[in-house]
Structure 1
Amino acid sequence: MARISYVELPVTGTAPARDFYAQAFGWNFTDFSPNYAATTGGDVDLGLNGSDDQAITQVLVLVEVQDLEAALAKVEAAGGEIVVPVFAYPGGRRFHFRDPAGNVLGVFVNEG
């Protein structure tokens, strides 16, 4: 079953954001690159995206699915517009879409 399981925040400088959330809420982060850190193991995890090549400009809600290609087809059939085609990242693949109301969300599958 598809579920919201990840929220990604755009940040400038992963370390200051990571340190803030660790101090404010006691969250532990894993650094996946110099520009990306995330909590792991929560019901809904938080990613801090300071990436240049896969940068986001607003909060990005991510839906986890079992079959990425099937989800892509369903999103398109329902009227969603693919704004970032499927791409791989360490541990999985995802795409971003715009819903009919203009909201941009991501859909991902873990493969690691």
Structure 2
Amino acid sequence: MTSHEKFNYLEYPARDLGATKDFFTQVFNWQFTDYGPEYSAFSGAGLDGGFYASDQCASMQNGSALMVFYSSALEQTQQKVEKAGGVICKPIFSFPGGRRFHFVEPSGNEFAVWSEPQE
């Protein structure tokens, strides 16, 4: 449902649109709809969005916002990320309220995954 003045859609650049689509399909089970050769919309992510062909990438080092996923099994999600070709750029670390890691997907965009603290 579209809500007035709430986040509705998210867009990211993609250096390799095909590899990015494959990665997010394998790791997070996203679905994609292509709109020409330079744009693909995703769904099944909690917030819909898309990737557009670009030589740019989103990273915290460049001042980009960070999209953070939630996982109830942090180590298993990290293994899925690595198996699908993601690169861990910040290994699992603790922070107040939980644990998380950061990764870079095949097009160079940085994301993070967090979980509650270990008991």
TM-score (norm 2): 0.46
TM-score (norm 1): 0.48
* Larger fraction in strand: 1
